[in-house]
Amino acid sequence: MYSVDKYPSKILQEAVEAIGSLPGVGSRSALRLALHLLGQPADSIHHFTEAINRLADDVQYCRTCQMVSDADTCPICADRTRDARTICVVESVRDVMSIEATGQYRGVYHVLGGIISPIDGIGPSDIHIRELVERIGRMHEEDAAVEDLPGGDSVSRGDIEIILALSGDVEGETTALYIYRQIEDKGVKVTTLARGLGFGDDLEYADTLTLGRSLTARQPFRP
Amino acid sequence: MYSVDKYPSKILQEAVEAIGSLPGVGSRSALRLALHLLGQPADSIHHFTEAINRLADDVQYCRTCQMVSDADTCPICADRTRDARTICVVESVRDVMSIEATGQYRGVYHVLGGIISPIDGIGPSDIHIRELVERIGRMHEEDAAVEDLPGGDSVSRGDIEIILALSGDVEGETTALYIYRQIEDKGVKVTTLARGLGFGDDLEYADTLTLGRSLTARQPFRP
């Protein structure tokens, strides 16, 4: 006797389970998406899966900043008009995209690829902190090499600035502090994002922590 | 100069576009899912895409009821304990799963694979109506063959019932009417789902159409 194992087809069931394993996709949505795909021509399905397979097979990471890239140097690091001595340290590619969308930043990035989170078993060695320290070391070596050239000591290449642009939660603050300890003696300027009320925010609806810190970190009024 | 085409990688962009082409998945969700997949081991990604590729490559449709199946006869049609003379006509596999979940139905199904919708360019020949008519014809032929056997005319195989279990919108009602016209002279009993207030529904919150039809189609009170 046929018992209702929910799915009339094991193939369908496995597709639903695969889709349902994505974060934020519930079993009803997964079924809806699987049935949508099932209704598509085979070519469309193959096109869909090939685009995703390329994430596994063809994506590279920029050897300088660790960002997702189609080559071993990403377009931002390859862009000579950007300030390569200002490095914004972020958790993920998504943060790079958010910052790029502001149009306010002309420096480069360093993508950690995660955040220190003991509860998830992610320690300092699981994210690209070592690569950041090495990157700073290489920049100093290049500076020294320039200074050794005849007349090179008169060339000022400017400070190196590391912007710790991590989230404001415990993991973000832990990671920022850990990185700071690794680089504080490397002769770099370390900054972090300004925090406070959002532009246009109403005091009435601000959370007390943000409002309190906004008060503590109050700034000169510029009329 | 690097211009922000939003994505640092064309491969990532194409994966986001592929995922974003799924119904109900917005571009932010698509990016989130693509970055999630990107963070997975290559094996997991391949496992994911293989499960989906099998929807294109390996799924079959039951030759009797047109339901998604792993073989040419689905488990429900193959189940001899079910009443093969009661056929519930539904739009999609999802409806089969919903009805099976009630545990109230012991007949079989006929999956149309769509609904008549002129606005979407879907006509009667695009869904499995012809297969339903042919299926009824085959059942009558089998009945006649049994009657021709010695003593066969004393064997009553019972009425064939076709339950039109389609949605209550214009497309569903159009499709139900079209099918009814095709089979009304085939000597089958044609029924449809009871409609009215849901069990436990509050009159106050019922929509007027449902409430009105519930009144018109009022039933004997069974204490």
Please answer yes or no on whether B9 and A48 come within 8 Å at the CB atom: no
Distance in angstroms (rounded) separating the CA atoms of residues B193 and A71: 59
Identify which of B15, B37, B38, B10 has the alpha carbon closest to the alpha carbon of residue B27.
B15
| Minimal Cβ distance to A38: which of B10, B24, B55 | B55
Which residues from A are below 8 Å from B27, CB to CB? none
Q: Burial of A166 by CB count in 10 Å (0-12 exposed, 13-18 middle, 19+ buried)?
A: buried
Q: How far apart are CA B103 and CA B189, in angstroms?
A: 23
Q: Write the DSSP assignment of A27-64 as a string of letters.
A: HHHHHHHHHHHHTS-HHHHHHHHHHHHHHHHT-EE-TT
- Kindly list the residues from chain B whose CB atom is less than 8 angstroms away from the CB atom of residue A29: 24
pLDDT the model gives residue A154: 64
Does the beta-carbon distance from B59 to A81 stay under 8 Å?
Answer: no
A-chain CB neighbours of B74 within 8 Å are: 8-9
CA of A105: which chain B residue's CA is closest? Answer: B4
**E-only strand ranges, A52-207:** 60-61, 68-69, 83-90, 107-111, 161-164, 189-192
The H-or-E segment that residue B163 falls in is strand B161-164
% residues pLDDT > 70 (chain A)? 95
Residue with more model confidence, A199 or A153: A199
Region of B155 please: left (phi>0), alpha (psi -120 to 50) or beta: beta
- Split at pLDDT 50, 70, 90, the class of B153 is low
DSSP letter string, B86-150: EEEEESSHHHHHHHHHHT---EEEEE-SS--BGGGTB-GGGTTHHHHHHHHHHHHHHHHHHHHST
| Beta strand pairing call for A189-192 and A161-164 | parallel
Give the Å distances, CA to CA, from A111 to A90, A123, A132, A208: 5, 16, 9, 31
Question: Which site among A52, A91, A99 would you substitute to test the B interface, given the most B Cβ atoms closer than 10 Å to its Cβ?
Answer: A52
Mean pLDDT within B52-60: 94
Helix B27-38 and helix A93-102: axis angle, to 10°?
Answer: 140
Token pair for B177: 């009417």
User: Which of B169, B164, B96, B98 is closest to B132 using CA atoms?
Assistant: B164
Q: Which residues of B touch A22 (CB under 8 A)?
A: 33, 36-37
ipTM of model: 0.79
Least confident of A47-51, A58-62, A91-95, B145-149: B145-149
B154 has pLDDT over 90:
no
Of A15, A58, A103, the CB nearest to B11: A58
Q: Which two tokens stand for residue A93?
A: 């590619």
Return the DSSP state at A122: B
pLDDT of res. B124: 95
Res. A152 pLDDT band, cuts 50 70 90? low
Helices A27-38 and B93-102: angle between axes, nearest 10 degrees: 140
A30-65 per-position pLDDT tens digit: 999 999 999 899 999 999 999 999 999 999 999 999
The lowest-confidence range among A139-153, A166-180, A184-198, B62-76 is A139-153
Return the pLDDT at B190.
93
What percentage of chain A carries pLDDT values higher than 90?
66
Residue A166 to chain B, least CA–CA distance (Å):
18
- The answer to whether the Cβ–Cβ distance between B32 and A24 falls below 8 Å is yes
Cα of B206 vs its chain's centroid, Å: 26
Chain A and chain B share a number of CB contacts under 8 A equal to 182
- Cβ atoms < 10 Å from Cβ of B4: 15
* Contact between A8 and B52 using a beta-carbon 8 Å cutoff: no
Closest CA to A57 of B34, B170, B132, B46: B46
Query: How close does chain A come to B134, measured CA to CA in Å?
Result: 23
Give CA–CA dist B100/B92, Å, rounded. Answer: 13
